């Protein structure tokens, strides 16, 4: 089972089996667990998580494209790892990423199109607004 808060919710939305139900069945309902295992899992949606990379050092001023991201057809979740007023450095690893987005959709082409829009917004620097320090 995927960790974190969003991961299990995405798996629940994208697969025919609910990971929480299967986990509970493994402990309390052997017949239900065996039935689920025999049925197998079918993926009914596509999903991706994309971690943002920041290219500018400075002070976070906001998230100019947040509303645009939330309007994407495949939008599922957005998480900022920084807040307005925080100092931010260039992203060098997962821990220095300013945040991430999760996309989920039944149409793989829509998901790919939305991911390209996310990358375009990131390239223009509008995911995280940064005021460069003098």
Domain that holds residue 30: 6-39
Residue 99 lies in a domain: yes
Largest CA distance in the chain: 66
Predicted pLDDT of residue 106: 97
Predicted pLDDT of residue 1: 54
SS (H, E, C) 31-75: HHHHHHHHHCCCECCEEEEEECCCCCCEEEEECCCHHHHHCCCCE
CATH number at residue 84: 3.90.1170
Q: How far apart are the C-alpha atoms of 45 and 109, rounded to whole Å?
A: 11
Averaged confidence pLDDT in the chain: 92
Residue 1 lies in a domain: no
Answer whether residue 84 shows pLDDT above 70: yes
pLDDT digits (tens, 9 = 90+) for 27-60: 999 999 999 889 888 999 999 999 999 999 999 9
On whether both 55 and 115 belong to a single domain, the answer is: yes
On whether both 24 and 52 belong to a single domain, the answer is: no
On whether both 97 and 116 belong to a single domain, the answer is: yes
Span 111-133, average pLDDT: 95
Residue 134 lies in a domain: no
On whether both 28 and 52 belong to a single domain, the answer is: no
């Amino acid at each position: 089972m995927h960790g974190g808060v969003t991961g299990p919710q995405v798996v629940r939305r994208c697969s025919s089996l609910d990971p929480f139900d299967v986990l509970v069945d493994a402990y309390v309902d052997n017949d239900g667990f065996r039935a689920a295992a025999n049925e197998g899992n079918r993926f009914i949606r596509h999903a991706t998580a994309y971690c943002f990379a920041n290219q500018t050092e400075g002070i976070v001023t906001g998230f100019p494209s947040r509303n645009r991201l939330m309007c994407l057809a495949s939008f599922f979740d957005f998480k900022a790892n920084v807040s307005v007023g925080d100092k931010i450095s260039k992203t060098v690893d997962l821990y220095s990423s300013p945040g991430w987005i999760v996309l989920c959709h039944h149409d793989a082409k829509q998901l790919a199109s939305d991911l390209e829009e996310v990358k375009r917004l990131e390239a223009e620097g509008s995911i995280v607004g940064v005021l460069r320090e003098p």
